[in-house]
Amino acid sequence: MRYFIGYLIKGQAKQYHNNLCSNLANEFGIKYLPYKVPSHLTLKAPFETEDITQIEKILEQFSEKNKKSKLELEGFGHFGNRVIFIGVKPNEKMKEGYSHLLDSLKKVDGLTWSEFEGKGANFHATIATKGIEEVFEEMWGYISTLEKPHFELDFDNIALLKYEAGKWLIHKEYSIN
């Protein structure tokens, strides 16, 4: 089975994210991203495993041992002409917790890692990806005219998402108090 680990964006920030994704889909004929995956920040990129129990245990322990911290969703950015996102500013406590989470996950035999994972967090909330290259310049021009988003959020959850029937579904969510 295919999974990834993320932080679920909620409340007004989620509403803003979904609305912006909808506007971009309608305006530029791209896919509506929240149809395929809930609004989130990726903490561990997709990976394959047949036995998720060890990872579930790590996430449960992480949620029990850590206290919620803060992050801000702010402004826009892009990775080349392939991904457009809302920027994320984690506070030091969130960065530290994330580092501990990665240390625990790296002990899991067989867990695969992309070349960018664990080399300093580059948190972001994707709003457009997959096949946007042809409309990127026009889309980026449009986004540049929008008021820059700013949301202060609690890093208060971690979720394990599972790929089923062409969508990412929440397999299990862990609260961080």
Q: What residue ranges define each of the domains in the chain, with the CATH number in brackets?
A: 2-113+120-175 (3.90.1140.10)
Cα separation, 119 vs 138, in Å, equals 32
Q: What is the pLDDT of residues 107-120, one digit of tens each?
A: 999 998 887 786 55
Are 104 and 44 in contact by the 8 Å Cβ rule? The answer is no
Tens digit of each residue's pLDDT (9 = 90 or more) over 121-156 = 689 999 999 889 999 999 999 999 999 999 999 999
pLDDT for 115: 79
Q: Judge if pTM exceeds 0.85.
A: yes
Q: Mean of the pLDDT values across residues 162-175?
A: 97
Query: What is the C-alpha to C-alpha distance for residues 37 and 169, in angstroms, rounded to an integer?
Result: 7
Q: What is the mean pLDDT of residues 65-76?
A: 96
CB 172 within 8 A of CB 160: yes
SS3 81: coil
The chain-wide mean pLDDT, for the chain, equals 94
